[in-house]
């Protein structure tokens, strides 16, 4: 984990009881023990199969800017979770929580995004997926 990339690290204590939805590939690239919380300025939101991805700039306390790319699941899953193609536009200021990849590149997978209006968008199986889903017990349960 490169400290300069971390603008705000709000702690690892938040209980993540269910895993993000990532259908096509597993989590072998991702450091599932890490969670970064980044203050972000959106540069692009790509609504595509098999994964959507969010591009954004994160600036640390020293003013260093890192360009991040963080994937989500596909449009069908994201729509079920309340996301849409129009949910981000370039220049939006959001807070992105993600799991980074293990090789140190500024790439990750989104766990949640807090929009400027305070709305939280999650990538987790919750809400619309309903309590009937066999919720994985740990963030690694997609293995």
Partner 1 sequence: MLTRLLMSLVPAAALLCFYLAVSPATQAQQSAPAQNAPPPALWNTPSIAPKQPQSPSGPAPRRDISGIWDAFAAGIQPTGVKSHAPFTEWGEKMANTYKPGDGPRKVALGLINDPLDGCDPAGFPRDLFFELRPFRIAQTPDQILILYEYQKVWRAIWTDGRELPEDPEPRWYGYSVGRWQDDYSFVVDTVGLDERTWLDNAGDPHSEEMRVEETYHRVNQDTLELTVKVDDPKAYKEPWLGLNKFTLRRQPASFDIREMICSPTEAEEYKKTVAEPATR
Q: Is 139 in the site for partner 1 (CB under 8 A)?
A: no
Task: For partner 1, give the closer residue by CB, 105 or 116.
Answer: 105
φ, ψ of residue 98 to 5 degrees: the values are -145, 160
Taking CB under 8 A as the binding criterion, the range among 4-12, 22-30, 32-40, 56-64 that sits at the site for partner 1 is 22-30
- From candidates 48, 67, 119, 137, binder to partner 1 by CB under 8 A: 48
Q: How far is CA 120 from the centre of its chain?
A: 11
Question: What H or E segment, with its residue span, contains residue 79?
Answer: helix 75-80
The number of beta carbons lying within 10 Å of the beta carbon of residue 64 is 11
Q: Is 56 in the site for partner 1 (CB under 8 A)?
A: no
Q: Is 143 in the site for partner 1 (CB under 8 A)?
A: yes
Q: Which residues pair with 121 in a beta bridge?
A: 113
In whole angstroms, how close is the CB of 13 to partner 1 at the nearest point?
26
Question: What H or E segment, with its residue span, contains residue 58?
Answer: strand 53-59
> Degrees (nearest 5) of the Cα angle 84, 100, 66?
85
Q: Is 132 in the site for partner 1 (CB under 8 A)?
A: yes
Residues that bind partner 1 (CB under 8 A): 21-26, 28-29, 46, 48-51, 53, 69, 71, 74-76, 79-80, 101, 103, 105, 107, 125, 128-130, 132-134, 142-143
């Amino acid at each position: 984990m490169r400290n300069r990339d971390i603008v705000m690290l709000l702690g690892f204590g938040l209980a993540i009881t269910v895993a993000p939805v990532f259908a096509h590939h597993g989590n072998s690239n991702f450091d599932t023990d890490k969670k970064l919380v980044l203050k972000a300025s959106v540069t692009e939101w790509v609504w595509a199969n098999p994964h959507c991805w969010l591009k954004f700039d994160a600036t640390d306390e020293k003013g260093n800017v890192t360009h991040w790319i963080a994937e989500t699941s596909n449009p069908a899953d994201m729509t079920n979770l309340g996301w849409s193609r129009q949910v981000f536009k370039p220049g939006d200021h959001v807070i992105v929580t993600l799991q980074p990849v293990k090789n140190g590149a500024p790439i990750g997978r989104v766990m949640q995004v807090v929009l400027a209006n305070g709305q939280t968008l999650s990538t987790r199986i919750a809400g619309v997926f309903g309590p009937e889903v066999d919720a994985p017990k740990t963030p690694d349960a997609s293995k």
